[in-house]
Amino acid sequence: MNLLFRTSLLIVALFVLADARTASAQPAGPQPWWPVQPRAMPFLHPLFTSDMVLQREIAAPIWGWAKPGDKISIAVDGKPAAQAVAGADGRWAAKVGPFAAGGPHTVVVEGGGRKESLANVLFGDVWLCTGQSNMNWPVRLAQNAEEEVKACTNANIRSFTVNFYSALTPELLPPPARWEPCTPEFARNFTAVGYFFARELQAKLGVPIGLIHSSAGATAAEAWVSGEALRREMPFDFRERFAELDQTNAFFGADFEFFRAVEQWTAKADPASAAKKYASDPNLDTSDWLDIAVPKPWEEAGLAELKDFDGLVWFRHTVDIPESWRGKDLALGLSVVRDADVVWWNGTIIGSKQTAGIRNYLVDAALVKPGRNLLVAAIVNTNGPGGFCSQPSNVSLRPAVNPGTNQVRIAGTWKAKRSAPMKDLTVPFPIPRVGHYKTISALYNGMIAPLTPFGIKGALWYQGEANGPFWLQYRRLLPTLIANWRKRFEVGDFPFLIVSLANLNSLQTKPVEPGWAEIRESQWRTARTVPNTGLAMTIDIGDPKDIHPRNKQEVGRRLSLVARKLVYGESNLVASGPEFTEMQVELPKGDKIRLYFKNVGGGLRIKPGDDKLKGFIVAGADKEWVWADAVIEGNTIVVSSPDVPLPKYVRYGWAWNPVVNLFNAEGLPAITFRTDE
């Protein structure tokens, strides 16, 4: 039984002693999103870099960390813009502006002996793009992808993509990311919905558009809401899941720090390594260590002690650093490591990963000194080739920024020492405090909280598939999410634009079919009842065979229409398809119902190519639904059926993939609805 598998079993066992459900709050084995390097709090939050977009026409927040009491100054284009003082926790915060749309500008932040100069900064409108996989879908996989990617050149569009991170408690920093310009190289991986929305808006408004993309496939809305908000606003909905989360957090303890636990693990797994300071003592007597070629699997190094060995092996190497690298972050490449590793630079842990694969670590500038530097690695191999397994060219050290041709060769002869074999490694390797993609509040903690309170214009939300069966709960959940985010971003009741779910699965054959009709209704109700929200209908542009329809261009365009009317004041713009407002039973016979709509624009229309309206059903008091005859009369629709002499209720488009063809003259589809609640 290998170490990682044994670790997984032990962790699961600890979690399930009291309740079998507790394991669901935390993955049992290594996951791709687990942290691999300790992260010191940076002078500037990662959102503030060159090429960024700051929100125009507001006092835009900027923040970071320094020594308590340090005075921080911010200048824009050489003119003083703001000042701040780092608090007791080191955090400082200031606001710059308001500035009009435009750029490029230079923003300089300095204090406490640090100085950062941010170039090519724009002021414009920043939109948060979030939800599940249809928001995550990239431009390179959208309709006409090759042509679209080639055309992705716009200096006034930028994107900051937040990588997946599911955290059990709120984080201060997002996963490593950067602002990227809209060029084919980068924009091919932009959120397609966000990019096409930005392209439409930027062309219409002429202002820079920034996208902060934070989404994850298959995720439910409750994962995107803070625990505080859910416990307060929906206290009875998620009690068991919060109990699991609380038990998991209690297991770790309030002061748990993953990389400290990793170092403690090496000390327990090999007590001699701690006593003799293998990882930190530059003067350690290594006369009894082996000379070994790196990179090469240790089984192939020609050393009897490591032939067919599975377990823990220590490596040490001295690296000479030139004076010109003083104060620079360095990129350390260690080739492919098999399987788990812990790496130190001058006695400070810089990285650890628990699965086999390529290792690229950052050596913080504060750890770099000219002359001799100590590089140490502890590697655990469970079976097969162990250690560094690649080509010498893949083992390198160079400046992390503008490396050019500068590098220090670190492949060659290192020192190695065999430690405990697998059978003696009974102490489980630690795991970080992270959740699954479904863990309650975990995506808020890892992917939204670290972004707040960045100044944004509004949010785009494409989500609901994962909450489909829980549509009634979603009526309260989505407004809770909106209120939660509006509070955290501190820019008031910012616009929140919702994508109604597209059609999916086989075409409707029965008057009422189970599916997404109710979740679409919950999205519509949110847009009707929560101030400053809007809805983009996509009922006609889905792919019956694919939950990820490729026509993201039209989704972005329809969202841009909603934004132009709701946010940018184009009051006469038709931004939505026909929307049901009220019904009236036609008297004196009572055998017909007249439906009234808003957003009719140039008039109600049947989809070109069809000869009559489809998708309407009626029922009497017994709620036995039948297909209805529907006729457009002016800006109203009259529905009836010979099978229902006294109709009382009407529905339209009530299925996964409904038969619908009502549009307005502007080509926007009617919003599906029912009158029988």
Per-residue pLDDT reduced to its tens digit, 587-616: 999 999 999 999 999 999 999 999 999 999
Of 351, 326, 337, nearest in space to 394 by CA: 337
> What's the mean pLDDT in 402-429?
90
Identify the CA nearest to 597 among candidates 546, 662, 660, 677. Answer: 662
Q: What's this model's pTM, rounded to 2 decimal places?
A: 0.93
The arithmetic mean of pLDDT across residues 560-582, rounded, is 97
Q: For 590, what's the count of Cα atoms within 13 Å in the CB-facing half-sphere?
A: 8
Q: What percent of the chain is modeled with pLDDT above 70?
A: 96
Q: Give the pLDDT score at 5.
A: 36
Q: Which of 400-409, 463-472, 643-652 has the lowest mean pLDDT?
A: 400-409
How does pLDDT run across 434-455, given as a tens digit for each residue? Answer: 999 999 999 999 999 999 999 9
SS3 for 465-495 is HHHHHHHHHHHHHHHHHHHHHHHHHCCCCCC
Instruction: Cite the DSSP H helix spans in 408-516.
Output: 442-443, 471-489
In the chain, where the domains are located:
260-424, 579-674
Q: What angle do CA 672, 675, 677 make, to 5 degrees?
A: 110
pLDDT of residue 402: 78
Residue 101's pLDDT is 98
Average per-residue pLDDT in the chain? 94
Q: What is the pLDDT of residues 629-668, one digit of tens each?
A: 999 999 999 999 999 999 999 999 999 999 999 999 999 9
User: What spatial distance separates the first Cα and last Cα of the chain, rounded to whole Å?
Assistant: 58
What is the DSSP code (8-state) at residue 40? P
What tens digit of pLDDT does each residue of 77-121 get? 999 999 999 999 999 999 999 999 999 999 999 999 999 999 999
Report, as an integer, the average pLDDT of 135-145: 98
Structure tokens at 361: 């670590």
Superfamily of domain 260-424: Galactose-binding domain-like (2.60.120.260)
575 pLDDT exceeds 50?
yes
C-alpha 516/C-alpha 197 separation (Å) is 24
Question: For 369-402, how does the pLDDT look when each residue is reduced to its tens digit (9 = 90+)?
Answer: 999 999 999 999 999 999 999 899 889 999 988 7
Which residues have CB under 8 Å from 232's CB, separation 6+? none
Amino acid type, 233: E
Give the pLDDT score at 4: 44
Six token digits for residue 593 = 């119902």
Closest to 644 (Cα-Cα) out of 592, 596, 588, 594: 592
The pLDDT-based confidence of 24 (bands split at 50, 70, 90) is low
Least confident of 11-15, 32-36, 164-168, 268-272: 11-15
The amino acid occupying position 359 is R
Give dist(CA 94, CA 82) in Å, integer: 6
pLDDT value, residue 196 = 98
